[in-house]
Structures are given as C-alpha cells and as structure tokens.
Amino acid sequence: MKQEGLKFFSDIYLTNTALVLFFLVFLGVGFWVFRSGSKEHYKHMSQLPLKKDES
C-alpha cells in the first residue's frame, strides 16, 4: 500500500498538480483578505490589543 503510494512522488504530473494547487490556495487567500466589506472588520481586529476595558 505504502509502496504504491510512494510511486506518486515520481509522477511529474501529480507533483505539478500539487504545486499549482498550493499556489492557487495561496493566491485565493491573498484575494480573499481583500474581499469587500472586510476593512471595518480588520480595523476592529487590529484594535483589540489596544482597547482598554470599555470595548
């Protein structure tokens, strides 16, 4: 079972697919943090350590 699994490591198409997949996820997160309406939220989040008790 394991040995069969290992063969995939030398499959250039499969490893390339993984590379592209990882990169797409990275790009996706990059775009996603800039989604509309997020600005207010991030402002709120970044203020959390600075807020005194009143919140």
Partner 1 sequence: MTASQEKVKVQYDDQIVRMFFHATLFWAFAAFTAGVWIAFELAVWQLNLNTEWLTFGRLRPLHTNAAIFAFAGNAIFAGIYHSSQRLLKTRMFSDMLSKIHFWGWQLIILAAAITLPLGFTQSKEYAELEWPIDIAVTLIWVIFAINFFGTLARRREKHMYVAIWFYIATIVTVAVLYIVNNIALPTSIAHSYPVYAGIQDALVQWWYGHNAVAFFLTTPFLGLMYYYVPKAANRPVYSYRLSIIHFWALIFIYIWAGPHHLLYTALPDWAQTLGMIFSIMLWAPSWGGMINGLLTLRGAWHLLRTDPVIKFMVAALTFYGMATFEGPLLSIKSVSALGHYTDWIVGHVHAGTLGWNGFLIFAMIYYLVPKLWKTELYSKKLATTHFWIGLLGTLLYYISMVVAGITQGGMWRAVNEQGQLVYPDFVETVTRIVPLYYVRGIGGALYLIGFLLLLYNVYKSISMATEKPTDEVAEVINTNVKSEDIGTGHRKLEGMATAFTVLTLIAILVGSVIEIIPTLSLHKYVRNDVQVEPWTPLELAGRDIYVREGCYTCHSQMIRKMPSEVLRYGPASTIEESMYNRPFQWGSKRTGPDLARVGGKYPVTWHYRHMINPREIVKDSIMPNYPWLATEKIDYYALRKKLSIMKYLGVPYDDDTVANADLVAGRQAQEIADGLIEFGAPEEVRNKEIIALISYLQALGQKGGLSEEDKEGGSE
- Going residue by residue from 1 to 40, which x/- string records binding to partner 1, judged by CB under 8 A? -xx-xx--xx---------------x--xx-xxxx--x--
Minimal distance in Å, beta carbon 27 to partner 1?
11
Minimal distance in Å, beta carbon 1 to partner 1?
9
Q: Does the footprint of partner 1 cover residue 54 (CB under 8 A)?
A: yes
Burial profile 5-40: b = 16 or more Cβ within 10 angstroms, e = fewer: eeeeeeeeeeeeeeeeeeeeeeeeeeeeeeeeeeee
